[in-house]
Amino acid sequence: MPFVPQRRFIIVVICGGLTLILLMAIGLYGLIRGPEKTSHLDRPAVQTSVPSVSPERAGKPRPVLVTSNAELFVRSVARALFNWDTRHEGGPAQWAQVPLDVADAEEAPALASDVRGYLPSPEMWERLSAYGTQQRLDVESIAIPESWSTALQQATAGQLPSGAAALTITGTSHRVGTWNTEVIRTERPVAFTIFVACREGKPCMLLRLSQLDRPLK
């Protein structure tokens, strides 16, 4: 049969192309979501060599702006939560400390748990660092949730600290990393609410965070 070798060659070419596409998809998924626990998704990260990273200097944690302006404060907090660089020698705990440095003392323990929900886990951070992954946030809007006025009206005396406010951030989270020799860029919309206390004549303090993508309406 003269067509059999040609048919086999076509099949081999198609299978090779599909394999390459599958590996690229797995690498992209890992950059966006981080590693899964299943072994077949972990394997590409182990087998591929550590990629070369961008020659630019690695980003480092930047302190939250000290201000009594609530909008400027939450914008700075939002960037502290989302702007990180796994090429920096510090792990996620060092980046998590930035928003905690401006926390209200009474809310600090609960806030620490909130912040962890916004950053990769130490295990995921290690995987992402193999790709030199960086993340940043483009803030698109800052608004007071409609339900916040109702919450203020229903709050009992002393339930909320003086100057308490809630502001919802909407924006786009951008990630970039290098998989083998290819730069992979991803983005996704995000929304969340930041609760602060901005007392007159004093710097704003961070109270709590909503769950990511579950802002106060």
Confidence class of residue 29 from pLDDT cuts 50, 70 and 90?
Answer: low
Residue owning tokens 């803030």:
139
Gap between the Cα atoms of 158 and 92, Å rounded: 35
Asked if 129 contacts 141 with a C-beta cutoff of 8 angstroms, the reply is no
Q: Tens digits of per-residue pLDDT, 65-88? A: 999 999 999 999 999 999 999 999
47 pLDDT higher than 60:
no
Rounded mean pLDDT of 180-207? 96
Same domain for 57 and 23, yes or no, is no
> Which residues lie below 8 Å from residue 165, measured CB to CB, with a gap of 6+?
70, 144, 148, 195, 196, 197, 198
Q: How many CA atoms lie within 13 A of 76 on its CB side?
A: 23
Rounded mean pLDDT of 24-30? 49
pLDDT for residue 30: 44
Same domain for 129 and 203, yes or no, is yes
Same domain for 90 and 177, yes or no, is yes
108 pLDDT higher than 70:
yes
Same domain for 74 and 114, yes or no, is yes
Same domain for 43 and 56, yes or no, is no
**Weakest mean pLDDT among 24-33, 131-140, 190-199:** 24-33
Gap between the Cα atoms of 93 and 208, Å rounded: 18
Same domain for 92 and 36, yes or no, is no
91 pLDDT higher than 80:
yes
Residue 141 belongs to domain spanning: 51-209
Q: Tens digits of per-residue pLDDT, 48-59? A: 333 444 446 788
Residue 214 lies in a domain: no
**What's the pTM value of the predicted model, to 2 decimals?**
0.75
Give the count of beta carbons closer than 10 Å to the beta carbon of residue 141.
10
Confidence class of residue 33 from pLDDT cuts 50, 70 and 90?
Answer: low
Same domain for 18 and 118, yes or no, is no
Q: Which residue has the higher pLDDT, 17 or 114?
A: 114
pLDDT for residue 180: 87
Q: Tens digits of per-residue pLDDT, 119-167? A: 999 999 999 999 999 999 999 999 999 999 999 989 888 889 999 999 9
Rounded mean pLDDT of 34-48? 31
For the stretch 113-121, contacts whose Cβ atoms lie closer than 8 Å and that sit 24 or more positions apart, written own/partner, are: 114/208, 114/209, 115/81, 115/209, 117/209, 117/211, 117/212, 118/81, 118/82, 118/192, 118/209, 118/212, 119/81, 119/84, 119/92, 119/95, 120/34, 120/92, 121/34, 121/92
pLDDT for residue 6: 52
Residue owning tokens 């009594």:
68
Helix, strand and coil percent figures for the chain, each rounded to 5 = 40, 25, 35
pLDDT for residue 45: 31
Gap between the Cα atoms of 92 and 100, Å rounded: 13
- Look over the chain and give the mean of its residue pLDDT values, rounded to a whole number: 82
Same domain for 13 and 103, yes or no, is no
Nearest one of 195, 188, 197, 196 to 216, comparing CA atoms: 195
Same domain for 11 and 101, yes or no, is no
